[in-house]
Amino acid sequence: MDKPQTNKKNLVLLIIVASLGYFVDIYDLVLFSVIRVQSLKGMGVPDDELLSIGVKLINAQMIGMLLGGILWGILGDKMGRIKVLFGSILMYSLANIANGFVTDVNSYAIIRFIAGVGLAGELGAGITLVAESMSKEKRGYGTMLVAAIGLTGAIVAGLVGDKFEWQTAYFIGGGMGLVLLVLRLGVFESKMYDNIAQKNISKGNFLMLFNNWERFKKYLSCTLIALPVWFVVGVLITFAPEFGKAMGATDPLSAGKGILFTYIGISLGDLLTGFLSQIFKTRKKIVIVFLFATLCSILLFLFSKGISANTYHWLCVLLGLSTGFWVIFVTIAAEQFGTNLRATVTTTVPNFIRGSVVLVTLSFEWLKTPFGIINAALIVGITTLIIAFIAAFNLEETFGKDLNYIEE
C-alpha cells in the first residue's frame, strides 16, 4: 500500500509550491489573451493585422506547449519531478520578463514559443509529485487544491492586464515565478520516485504509450475526457462577440470578461469536483456527472435569446462550473499509469488536450458557413461530449489506487 510519502510540514510546502506554480502558469497562459491587442498595438501592428498576427503568436505558444509537454514529461520520469518543477518555473518566468522587453512581432513569437515550452511542464510535475507524496485515500484533496488555487491565476491575469501596461503585466508574472523558486528550494523529491531512480528500469519511454494497445487506449481516453473544456473556452467564450450578435444580445459580449468569469466557475468547479470525488470515493462517476452538466450548460448558452452582458457573465460562470473537472482529469491521468511513466503521461495529457483546441476551432469554422454559428457550435459541442463520454466509460476507477508500481 502507498502510505504518505512525506511529513506534514513538507507536504504543506509541496502543495503550496505546486499550487502557486500552476497559478503563475495559468496567469501567463491567460495574460497573453488579455493583453494581446494592447501589446500588438504598442508595437505598431495595424488594426487589420491584429487577428492574423495574434493567431500566429498563439500558434507559436501552442507548438511550444505541445513540444514542452513531451520534453518535460520524459525528463520528469528520467530525472525526477523536482527538477522539472524547478526548470519549467524558471523557463516561463524568464520568458515572461523577456516578453516585457519585446519590440517586434518576430521576437514576440520566439519568446511566446519559449514560454510555451516552459508552461508545459509545471502542472504535470506538480500533480505527479503531490499524488505520489500523499496517501491514496487523501491525495485527491491535494490535487484539488493545486488546480483550484492555480486556476485563480486566470482571474488575476484579467485584473492585472486591465489595470497595468502590458509590459508591467509580464514583469509581474515573471517576478512571481522567480519568487516561487525560493519556496521551491524546501521541496523534496517523491520517495516513490526515489525508489526507482537508480534501478535499471525503462523510465520516461514515450514510445511505451504506443506499443501496447491497452496502454494506448487508456492514454487516449485520459486525454479525451477533457475535450469539452476546450470547446467551451476555445469556441463559446473566444467567439462570444459573434455569438452575442446571433443571439440578439442586448449588450456586446466581451470575450475577455467571458474568460474571467469562466475561470471563476472552473476554479469553483475544481473545488467541488475534487471534494465530491473524495466524499463519494470515485473519480470516474464525478466526471460523467459533470459531462452531463456541461451538456446542459452548453445547450442553455446556445439557445439563449436577447441576453444582457450580466446574464452572459452568469452563463460563463455556469459553463466554467460544469467544466470544472480539470483537477480530476489530471489526477486520473496520474493514477492510471506506473511510476516510470507517470510524469510523462500527466505532463503530456493536459498539453495535448490544450492543443486539441486547434482542431475544435477549425471544425467550428468549417461548419459555420453552411450551418450557421449556433448550429455549428451545437454540432461540434455535442461531438466533443460524445467523445468524452466514450473515453470516460473506457477508463478504470482509480480512487484509492496504489500508485507504487511500474509499467512493464
Q: Report the candidate in 228, 292, 326 with the shortest Cα–Cα distance to residue 29.
A: 326
Share of the chain above pLDDT 90, in %: 52
Q: How far apart, in whole angstroms, are the C-alpha atoms of residue 314 and residue 361?
A: 24
Residue 102 to residue 94: CA distance in whole angstroms? 13
**402 to each of 66, 159, 250, 255, 332, how far by Cα in Å?**
29, 41, 54, 42, 13
248 has a pLDDT exceeding 90? yes
pLDDT-based confidence at residue 71 (cuts at 50, 70, 90): very high
Task: Give the pLDDT of residue 205.
Answer: 93
CB 342 within 8 A of CB 406: no
- Identify whether the C-beta of residue 166 lies closer than 8 Å to the C-beta of residue 42: yes
- Predicted confidence at residue 249, as pLDDT, reads 92
Q: What would the mean pLDDT of 27-48 be, rounded to a whole number?
A: 84
Q: What is the mean pLDDT of residues 240-257?
A: 88
Tell me: pLDDT of 245 over 60: yes
* Average confidence (pLDDT) over 75-80: 93
Closest CA to 185 of 14, 45, 41: 14
Is residue 5 predicted with pLDDT exceeding 50? no
Least confident of 3-17, 175-189, 325-339, 391-405: 3-17
Q: How many CB atoms lie within 10 A of CB 40?
A: 21
Determine contact, residues 141/270, Cβ cutoff 8 Å. no
Mean pLDDT score, 44-57: 80
Position with higher pLDDT, 4 vs 179: 179
CA-to-CA distance for 200 and 318, rounded, in angstroms?
49
How many alpha carbons fall within 13 Å on the CB side of residue 26? 27
Least confident of 19-23, 67-71, 332-336, 353-357: 353-357
- The set of cell numbers assigned to 361 is 476551432
More confident residue, 53 or 213: 213
Q: What are phi and psi of 260, to 5 degrees?
A: -60, -50
pLDDT score for 1 = 45
pLDDT tens for each residue of 87-138 = 998 999 999 999 999 999 999 999 999 999 998 988 888 899 999 998 888 8
Task: Please check the confidence at residue 7 and state whether its pLDDT lies above 80.
Answer: no
Higher-pLDDT residue of 185, 154: 154
The model carries a pTM of 0.88
Query: Is the distance from CB of 184 to CB of 322 less than 8 angstroms?
Result: no
- Confidence band for 393, pLDDT divided at 50, 70 and 90: very high
Q: Which of 270, 250, 274 is nearest to 262 (CA)?
A: 270
Residue 125 CB-half CA count within 13 A: 38
In this predicted structure, what is the pLDDT of residue 348?
A: 95
For the segment 309-326, the average pLDDT, to the nearest whole number, is 95
**pLDDT at residue number 371:** 94
| pLDDT per position as a tens digit, 250-291 | 998 888 788 889 988 998 998 899 999 999 999 999 999 999
Can you tell me the mean pLDDT for 292-305? 96
CA 143 to chain centre: 13
Rounded CA gap, 205 and 309, in Å? 49
C-alpha cell at 228: 469539452
CATH class name, domain 8-185+203-394: mainly alpha
Which candidate, 139, 108, 170, places its Cα nearest to that of 278? 139
Residue whose grid cell is 511513466 = 341
Mean pLDDT of 15-37: 85
Do 392 and 284 contact (CB within 8 A), yes or no?
A: yes
Considering only 16-30, 109-123, 326-340, which range has the smallest mean pLDDT?
16-30
Q: Kindly tell me if the per-residue pLDDT of 186 is higher than 80.
A: no
**Residue 6 binned pLDDT confidence (cut-offs 50, 70, 90):** low
Residue count of the chain: 408
